[in-house]
Amino acid sequence: MIKLKLTGLEELEIKNISCKTISFKKIEIPNENCSDFHIQYKIFNQNDKSTSVGTIICSVSPYQRDVTQVVLNKSFLLPDNCTLNVKLESLIRQNFKGVSFIDYEIFDYDDETQHTFTSKVTISESDRQSAFRIALMNLGRFFEIKNWEFDDNQTLYDKIKTINNPIVRLLKNYFEAYNKWFKFYEKIKDLEALQGKTYNLSEIEKAELSELIKARQNTLDTLQRNFDELQLKKFNNSHGLGNVDGIIL
């Protein structure tokens, strides 16, 4: 785990991240309410000179006692020959001079795929339901669905599907991609149980798994990006800034 220290609302570059996956784990802002801040990241692709900008919302649960730190769990892939800049921002604390700490990890994109080629499959139905639970509870809380914190996954999903919002379709896309990836693992687990040893993937199966991993990650990234935008709009409205797209600077 790497800890990035930011002073005030400064912008820093994270180096050596081309063709990597970066995973932001947690942010801590001592003596502050994290919900007053968000993280902006900027990816500059030096190959085509394009710039992508995204936002990570520091969402504090209404049941959270310690509001000075928030679990982020935001991951995304980085292209070849790129730079990544990270900045702490606040719409209501624009003169913030304190410090913040962001925990993150960087790993090779193929780490998950390569690991699968040499290790027995251990992913379970519990893992699948836990992954779904995170997405469902975030949306359930955001849309203020009754009993969102107590409903089981299927009940909460059925309620979310009645909401007229494009993000519902993105949630469905993520679940479908995750399920295809999960079913691939289930097939391998069955073969390993039959053989009593680690199953070695063929080149065709390796290529198939790589595509399934990409699809799962891409649909999750799209879902997260759109959820970030929804939260920004809600934040802007709650602070009298209007129903606008993006961040008001």
- Give the count of domains, the chain: 2
Residue 243 lies in a domain: no
Backbone angles phi, psi at 188, to 5 degrees: -65, -40
* Residue 177 and residue 222 in one domain: yes
Tokens representing residue 220 in the block: 């999750």
Q: 85 and 17 share a domain?
A: yes
104 and 175 part of one domain = no
Q: Is residue 28 part of a domain?
A: yes
User: Can you give the pTM of this predicted structure?
Assistant: 0.54
Note down the domain range covering 49.
2-109
Instruction: Write out the chain in H/E/C secondary structure.
Output: CEEEEEECCCEEEECCCCCEEEEEEEEECCCCCHHHCEEEEEEEECCCCEEEEEEEECCCCCCCCCCCEEEEEEEEECCCCEEEEEEEECCCCCCCCCEEEEEEEEEECCHHHHHHHHCCCCCCHHHHHHHHHHHHHHHHHHCCCCCCCCCCHHHHHHHHCCCCCCHHHHHHHHHHHHHHHHHHHHHHHHHHHHHCCCCCCCHHHHHHHHHHHHHHHHHHHHHHHHHHHHHHHHHHHHCCCCCCCCCCC
Q: With contact defined as beta carbons under 8 Å apart, do 88 and 97 qualify?
A: no
Q: Would 8 be classed as within a structural domain?
A: yes
Same domain, yes or no, for 74 and 156?
Answer: no
CATH classification at residue 46: 2.60.120.340
* Same domain? 6 vs 65: yes
Q: Are residues 87 and 150 in the same domain?
A: no
105, part of any domain: yes
Residue by residue, pLDDT tens for the chain (249 residues) are 788 888 888 888 887 777 777 888 889 999 888 888 888 888 888 877 778 777 777 777 655 678 888 888 777 777 778 888 998 887 677 788 899 999 888 876 555 544 444 444 556 787 788 778 888 988 998 899 998 888 999 999 999 999 999 999 999 999 999 999 889 888 888 887 787 777 777 888 878 888 888 888 888 888 888 888 888 877 666 655 555 444 332
Are 183 and 101 members of one domain? no
